[in-house]
Amino acid sequence: MAEIAYLALLLALGFVYVLNAHLDGTLTRIVDVVLAIVMLALLVLAFFLFHWLFGIVGIVLTLAFTKLIVPVASRCASRILGYRTGLRVEDHAAFNRWMSGKTSIWDYFQEAEKQHEQLRSKLARLAVRSDIASVLDENRLSVDDYTKLYEYLGLCGLSDLAWEIVRDPHELDLLIEMKRDGKSLREIFSAFRRFA
């Protein structure tokens, strides 16, 4: 019985952790760190309080649960905030390190180029998927154009939803259409956030 309660606590904390990752506020980063420390402590403690096998089950179950719960957490975050949300992403990690003085300008450019190539490679793999390939072919877009569309979403304030948008053929088609029609960054932002 104690084991079930322990697992329930771990899963509840996992859900709060994923939900928090969809929110954007001054305290979200602090909450991230606190939740991560508490969950890690509970997972380590499980090995001492219960059997070592329970500790391994706890780790596997918590990791699997946090992956599966993402759509539910996203819907909950949307209800809390009143608009569509996505997971926070760290697209500008190299820039942030340079601005904080942790790397030189030369290292920044090298790292930024490496991140761009990794993104392009990831999108190239996605671009061969039949439904995405169909949208790209229909609009005569290359992998480089596809990569630029992803980066354009960052300019629209949609970095957290960018991956979700570019891997959905209907949303990708809508983005291409809105950009082609000369819609403003604000209009694209509102359309994908689904503001009324």
Question: What are the angstrom distances between the C-alpha of 32 and each of 19, 69, 109, 111, 169?
Answer: 10, 16, 29, 26, 32
Give the C-alpha separation, 105 to 102, whole Å. 10
**Per residue in 168-187, pLDDT tens?**
999 999 999 999 999 988 89
Let me know how many helices (H) and strands (E) the chain has, helices first: 11, 0
**Per residue in 16-40, pLDDT tens?**
887 777 666 556 677 777 888 888 8
How many residues does this entry show for the chain?
A: 196
- Is pTM beyond 0.85? Reply is no
Domain boundaries, given as residue ranges, for the chain: 2-81, 93-193
